[in-house]
């Protein structure tokens, strides 16, 4: 049975913060382990700044129905990689074919990251995402594979797994590819509940109606021919090109022509979207954004289309 004793060194060389958990070189499940790719999961536990890795013990020791270790590494709230195993782990089970990953024993074929967030009312932190991108790029480079060998558990599961929630896996692979090509990946998410990062007038109500929402709730308002923008504030690290994505829950009665405003180095740009379908990240475009902390993306009520205008979450990624 093969192992990956190089894992810690490869992660640290990629700039990933690593904590080694005990005898990781000898902690593993019996059976074959010849990895060709990396699989992303979420733990379904609620992490926080003060409780950054609530699922760590379970990932090391397993559950009554599934012996540990349950992943090669757990990624905590702050983006720290807790390395658990250099060998086979119970994280993937039977895999269906996905991209270049063939159907078969996922525990043999795949290295697993368990990203510690609940995936229902909580999304991955920017620190978790950025560290997981860097780690995945470094490991795939070590394996001699390209970014298509990075998959999400929901893509390989034969039992209907949903993890990792709240990320577009095609965008993830694009970010891994950029990192492997030498580009820096910086990404941040601002939800309507992110403290100090979202502002809206009292005309914007709060709703939990749609299960397709990002996070705990979202904001809504009636369309009107007046300026009443809900703004997302983003601290841009350097003037450069950034991809801007938006998330809203899709409901048939929502607005078919919602204007998003992006504040760029050459002025405000407006992108109109159909909010009758949603529940995933939708790309608004790539824009040159100025360095500094300011309102970057807004959702406007100024539309002649009928139906509620929705403000839920945005994501900004350097490209």
- CATH number of residue 38's parent domain: 3.40.80.10
Residues 100 and 205 in one domain: no
Residues 100 and 203 in one domain: no
Residues 194 and 306 in one domain: yes
Q: Which residue from 130, 243, 138, 237 is spatially nearest to 181, judged by alpha carbons?
A: 138
Residues 158 and 217 in one domain: no
How confident is the model over 205-216, as pLDDT tens digits? 999 999 999 989
Is the per-residue pLDDT at 288 higher than 70? yes
Cis peptide before 266 (omega within 30 of 0): no
**What average pLDDT does this structure show over 132-158?**
96
Residues 238 and 293 in one domain: yes
For residue 319, what pLDDT is reported?
73
Domain boundary among 149, 179, 209: 179
Residues 303 and 165 in one domain: no
Q: Which of 31-40, 41-50, 282-291, 302-311 is least confident?
A: 282-291
Is the per-residue pLDDT at 186 higher than 80? no
For residue 143, what pLDDT is reported?
93
Is the per-residue pLDDT at 183 higher than 70? no
Residues 152 and 205 in one domain: no
Residues 193 and 300 in one domain: yes
Residue 24: pLDDT band by 50, 70, 90 thresholds?
A: very high
List the structure tokens of 217. Answer: 């709730």
- Tokens 């379904």 -> residue: 44
The whole-angstrom separation of Cα 253 and Cα 249 is 11
- CATH number of residue 203's parent domain: 2.60.120.260
For residue 198, what pLDDT is reported?
97
Domain boundary among 164, 179, 194: 179
Residues 297 and 170 in one domain: no
Domain that holds residue 157: 4-179
Residues 170 and 237 in one domain: no
The whole-angstrom separation of Cα 16 and Cα 66 is 29
**What average pLDDT does this structure show over 243-261?**
96
Rounded to 5 degrees, what are φ and ψ at 266? -110, 20
The pTM for the full model equals: 0.64
For residue 185, what pLDDT is reported?
61
Domain boundary among 123, 147, 179: 179
**DSSP notation for the chain:** ----TTHHHHHHHTT--EEE-SSTTT---SS-----EEEEEE-S----SSS--TTHHHHHHEETTEESP--SEEE-TTS-EEE--SS--SSS-EE--BTTBPSEEHHHHEEEEEE-S-SSS-PPPHHHHHHHHHHHHHHHHHHT--GGGEEEHHHHBSS---PSTTS-HHHHHHHHHHHHTT----EEEEETTSTTTEE--TTSEEE---TT-SSS-EEEE---SS---EEEEEEESSSEEEEEEEE----TTB-SSEEEEEEETTEEEEEEE-TTS-SSEEEEEEEEE-SEEEEEEEE----SS-SBEEE-EEEEEE-
**What average pLDDT does this structure show over 11-20?**
93
Is the per-residue pLDDT at 293 higher than 70? yes
**What average pLDDT does this structure show over 281-295?**
93
Please state whether 171 falls in left (phi above 0), alpha (psi between -120 and 50) or beta: alpha
For residue 238, what pLDDT is reported?
79
Of the spans 23-32, 179-188, 232-241, which averages the highest pLDDT?
A: 23-32
Tell me how many domains the chain contains. 2
Residues 257 and 192 in one domain: yes
Task: Specify burial of residue 97 (Cβ count, 10 A radius: 0-12, 13-18, 19+).
Answer: exposed
The whole-angstrom separation of Cα 291 and Cα 145 is 34
For residue 1, what pLDDT is reported?
56
Residues 69 and 174 in one domain: yes
How confident is the model over 71-92, as pLDDT tens digits? 999 999 999 999 999 999 999 9
**What average pLDDT does this structure show over 184-189?**
75
- Tokens 């003037």 -> residue: 239
Residue 171: pLDDT band by 50, 70, 90 thresholds?
A: confident
The whole-angstrom separation of Cα 219 and Cα 301 is 12
């Amino acid at each position: 049975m093969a192992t990956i004793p190089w894992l810690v060194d490869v992660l640290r060389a990629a700039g990933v913060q690593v904590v080694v958990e005990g005898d990781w070189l000898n902690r593993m499940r019996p059976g074959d382990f010849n990895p060709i790719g990396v699989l992303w999961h979420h733990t379904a536990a609620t992490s926080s700044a003060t409780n950054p890795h609530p699922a760590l013990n379970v990932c090391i020791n397993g559950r009554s129905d599934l012996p540990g270790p349950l992943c090669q590494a757990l990624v905590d709230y702050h983006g720290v990689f807790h390395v658990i195993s250099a060998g086979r782990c119970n994280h993937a089970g039977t895999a269906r074919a996905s991209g270049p990953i063939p159907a078969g024993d996922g525990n043999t074929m795949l290295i697993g990251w368990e990203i510690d967030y609940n995936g229902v009312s909580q999304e991955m932190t920017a620190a978790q995402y950025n560290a997981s991108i860097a780690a995945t790029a470094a490991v795939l480079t070590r394996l001699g594979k390209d970014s298509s060998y990075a998959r999400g558990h929901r893509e390989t599961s034969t039992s209907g797994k949903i993890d990792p929630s709240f990320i577009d896996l095609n965008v993830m692979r694009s970010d891994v590819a950029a990192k492997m090509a030498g580009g820096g990946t910086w990404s941040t998410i601002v939800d309507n509940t992110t403290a100090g990062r979202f502002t809206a007038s009292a005309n914007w109500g709060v709703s939990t109606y749609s299960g397709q929402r990002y996070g705990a709730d979202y904001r809504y308002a009636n369309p009107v021919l007046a300026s009443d923008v809900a703004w997302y504030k983003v601290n841009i690290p350097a003037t450069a090109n950034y991809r801007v994505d938006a998330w809203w829950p899709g409901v048939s009665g929502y607005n078919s022509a919602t204007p998003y405003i992006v504040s760029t180095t050459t002025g405000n740009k407006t992108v109109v979207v159909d909010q009758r379908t949603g529940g995933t990240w939708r790309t608004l475009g790539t824009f040159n954004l100025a360095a500094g902390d300011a309102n970057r993306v807004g959702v406007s009520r100024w539309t002649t289309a009928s139906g509620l205008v929705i403000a839920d979450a945005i994501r900004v990624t350097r490209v």
